[in-house]
Amino acid sequence: MPASPTASALLAVPLEDAARLFPGDAAAVRAGYHRLAIQWHPDHCQAPMADAVFSHLTRLRDAALRGLADAAPEVLPGGRRFQPRRRHAIETGTLLVGDAAWAWVIEPGQADLARNAAARIAGLRFADAAMRAQMAPLLPQVLSMDEGIEGTALLMRREPTDILLRDTVEAAGGALGPRHVAWICSGLLHLACFLAVNRLVHGDIGPESVCIAPESHRVGLPGGWWYATPEGAPMPALPLRSVDVAPAALLDDGLADPALDQALIRRTGREIAGPLAALPPPLADWLGQERFSDAVTEYGRWQQVLEASFGPRRFAVLDLDARSIYR
């Protein structure tokens, strides 16, 4: 591959040959991707095919990392060995999907974010036993946190039926049908109500932090807790994806605003739905909203959107399962 490959050359690299473009270990893959991503990111590159090239580079990076994951167990910071079924580069480091755990490997120098996540998760409160029984299966359970010179590894329990939302969309061909988008948004709004009870802003709801169980329509939130902050308190940081939709007041004063989570839920819906024109108009309009009320009020409005979009409720079967995706 030449030092500065053309758009056509990059688009011609098939996923099965990802290691040819991104050779070496996981760090080398991420570095190679970063070099090309800076060159081809559509926010900076005016080339006509920048969008297509950037998207393909991301798929090639993920394919190269998956190839490494299949080859050998990962040695996590602290020395623990972990066999991943899928590997994703995320803004804070790497996400490894294992058989019984999610392993979030946070880059060196960002251990404070991992500690923040562990503290916020440990501090979650439930109004009563019924709320605990309903919500605990949707929330992360920290199994271990190990720090080392390579970074910080945070392991969280993963149920065998859990699929990362990003992996779900990829397995479905890049988009989910409207009814699937709807039940996933329902689950996310339910989680937002729980966050409101805890007066907490998550700050990173999205395809790389959300998991689903298609056979039960369970929607969980194992990731992204690095940024979780009490309402009105200064946020430690924000990923770029969240900055893009953050309320103006939050960007001005840096204080956690629940409207951020509402904006991220809608962004997630847009990202997994494909073209909005193909959705029922009430659903498309809801996904495009930019002004929000409190989580409980928004959940009530959402019920009206569901009724207007789909009529009487019925279970929508999503013909995907974790075993086939993470085999």
Residue 113 gets the label, from left (phi > 0), alpha (psi -120 to 50) or beta, of: alpha
State the number of CA atoms in the 13 A half-sphere of 208 facing the CB: 22
The domains of the chain are located at: 1-67, 163-325
pLDDT band at 26 (very low <50, low <70, confident <90, very high): confident
* CATH number for the domain whose boundaries are 163-325: 1.10.510.10
How would CATH label the architecture of 1-67? Orthogonal Bundle (1.10)
Q: Are 236 and 227 in contact (CB under 8 A)?
A: yes
**Any residues with CB less than 8 A from the CB of 211 and at least 6 apart, and which?**
102, 158, 162, 163, 164, 165, 219, 220, 221, 222
Evaluate if pTM is beyond 0.75: yes
The C-alpha atoms of residue 177 and residue 193 are separated, in whole angstroms, by: 25
Please write the tens of the pLDDT for every residue from 287-315. Answer: 998 888 899 999 999 999 999 999 998 99
pLDDT band (50, 70, 90) for residue 320 = very high
Instruction: Give the model confidence (pLDDT) of 2-23 as tens digits.
Output: 457 899 889 999 888 888 898 8
Integer Rg of the chain from CA: 20
Phi then psi for 272, rounded to 5 degrees? Answer: -95, -10
CB-CB contact of 77 with 153 (8 Å): yes
What's at 125, amino acid-wise? Answer: R
Residues contacting residue 174 through CB under 8 Å, at least 6 positions apart: 274
